[in-house]
Amino acid sequence: MEGVIGDLQTTIGHNLRRHRETLGLSQEQFAELLGVHRTYMGAVERGERNMTLQTVERLAEQLHLDALSLMEAPLTRPVHTPRRAGRRSA
């Protein structure tokens, strides 16, 4: 499993960053919204923090997201946009 360690951390960080950018928030504003320090949020976005599952669930809940959506890689569409029924992905 060499090369896999840290992939999930990076994926979660990338997805949180994409969601933050979709909301049009700065890292500082996003951190304040989530109740964390901006340096912590920066480290999370860079995949440098090893978050517990409880932390991932808490952040997802605060963002009104499914925690699994933060762990899906690669995220090809904004996390807040629901898919339409009957449409197939390309």
Q: Which domains does the chain have, with CATH numbers?
A: 7-71 (1.10.260.40)
Tokens standing for residue 80 = 């807040």
4 with 65: CB under 8 angstroms? no
Cβ-based neighbours of 79, under 8 Å, separated by 6 or more: 15, 18, 19, 22, 63, 65, 69, 70
Enter the pTM of the model.
0.75
What gap in Å lies between CA 23 and CA 84, rounded to an integer?
A: 21
Per residue in 42-89, pLDDT (tens digit) is 999 999 999 999 999 999 999 999 999 999 976 455 555 444 555 555
70 with 44: CB under 8 angstroms? no
What gap in Å lies between CA 21 and CA 54, rounded to an integer?
A: 24
Per residue in 17-46, pLDDT (tens digit) is 999 999 999 999 999 999 999 999 999 999
Pick from 3, 21, 10: nearest CA to 72: 10
